[in-house]
Structure 1
């Protein structure tokens, strides 16, 4: 910069550095601070999310059309109920059925359901090999396929802890997001190009 005084160059450099630091500070504020302030006011759900409820009902109907009776054994679960379930197999009798404490499960936000099958005698089954409709395909597999087509994620696909009765729709939100108060929209969800 020929003809520019060293003092002016220093002033330009300091101004540029200040602008960069202010921009970074604003970015950090909007990414973290403002987000936590806004989301602290979000209330905890008290029932299934409307889209999850709608898709669950569709799953039951579609399975019935294939001769499969699906029952929902659990849907929305309060944080207190989740804590009780978490203690099962730890401080209370029974097998461990969850690794999620209260607030760490999609059930706590109305975004998950657990299902089972019912045979012709009215018995509730968690038998993944049962073929009650006699078409040569396990009813459980048929239900899982239908659920995935409706936009559910299946707990049986998880790597570390297989939760075969579990179906969830997380809407792209992690548990951390939900704990900060973010919630999915109540509006229509598109699955496979259909709403």
Structure 2
């Protein structure tokens, strides 16, 4: 009987300790986010860190002789739904598997890019080597973006989204839908 009480006491102490650790972890984790509330309108501008990193991407790419064009930034829910319909309600190619509210574009955390060739045309040719260094400019841009902290859609296993770059800051779409947003220190930019 004594041993049984000792075992229960030990388990209670372990559970209490783990509960305290979880509470501390969640408090620290929540400091990284702002709760704007579930009914908050989606942002109209890029997240400030994403905007700053996008500017750095354009500058670094230009220094490598690559002319990058940002073709999409923040998307409305309506626009996202229209893109989702593409390839489903028409003979066009499917360009996204994310419905409105399910894309990081809807929360100002993603951009899409393309290249501008020597003739000034915007192109989506992932094999184009405009700076003539023997490497795909598209993949060079993706590498620069990843060094800056972006996740690249070309690395995804199920649906390769080569133009897509995003920073989720550890937030899931579900959390974003609930109103959580990144909270940034000034030194993150």
TM-score by length of 2: 0.78
Of the structure 1 ranges 92-101 and 105-114, higher mean CA displacement relative to structure 2 is found in: 92-101
Of the structure 1 ranges 85-94 and 70-79, higher mean CA displacement relative to structure 2 is found in: 85-94
SS in structure 2 at match of 1:167 = strand
Q: CA deviation at 1:40?
A: 2.4
* CA distance in 2: counterparts of 1:38 and 1:103, whole angstroms: 16
Q: CA deviation at 1:64?
A: 0.4
SS in structure 1 at match of 2:179 = coil
Corresponding residue for residue 51 of structure 2 = 53
Mapping 1:120-135, distance limit 5 Å: 120-135=118-133
Q: Does structure 2 conserve the Cα–Cα contact (< 8 Å) formed by 1:49 and 1:186?
A: no
* CA distance in 2: counterparts of 1:44 and 1:143, whole angstroms: 28
SS in structure 1 at match of 2:181 = coil
In structure 2, stretches of 5+ residues that fail to align are 3-11, 27-34
In structure 1, stretches of 5+ residues that fail to align are 3-15, 31-36
* CA distance in 2: counterparts of 1:162 and 1:137, whole angstroms: 19
* CA distance in 1: counterparts of 2:132 and 2:54, whole angstroms: 24
1:39-66 deviations in Å (ceiling 9; x for gaps): 3254421111111011111100100011
Q: 1:69 to 1:40 in 2, by over 3 A?
A: same
1:63 paired residue among 54, 61, 65? 61
Q: CA deviation at 1:93?
A: 4.6
> Highest CA radius of gyration, 1 or 2?
1
Corresponding residue for residue 175 of structure 1 = 173
SS in structure 2 at match of 1:128 = coil
Q: Does structure 1 conserve the Cα–Cα contact (< 8 Å) formed by 2:38 and 2:177?
A: no
Corresponding residue for residue 114 of structure 2 = 116
TM-score by length of 1: 0.76
Q: How many residues align?
A: 165
SS in structure 1 at match of 2:182 = coil
Mapping 1:9-158, distance limit 5 Å: 39-158=37-156
Q: CA deviation at 1:38?
A: 7.0
Q: Does structure 1 conserve the Cα–Cα contact (< 8 Å) formed by 2:71 and 2:114?
A: yes
Q: Whose relative contact order is higher, 1 or 2, with alpha carbons under 8 Å and at least 6 apart?
A: 2
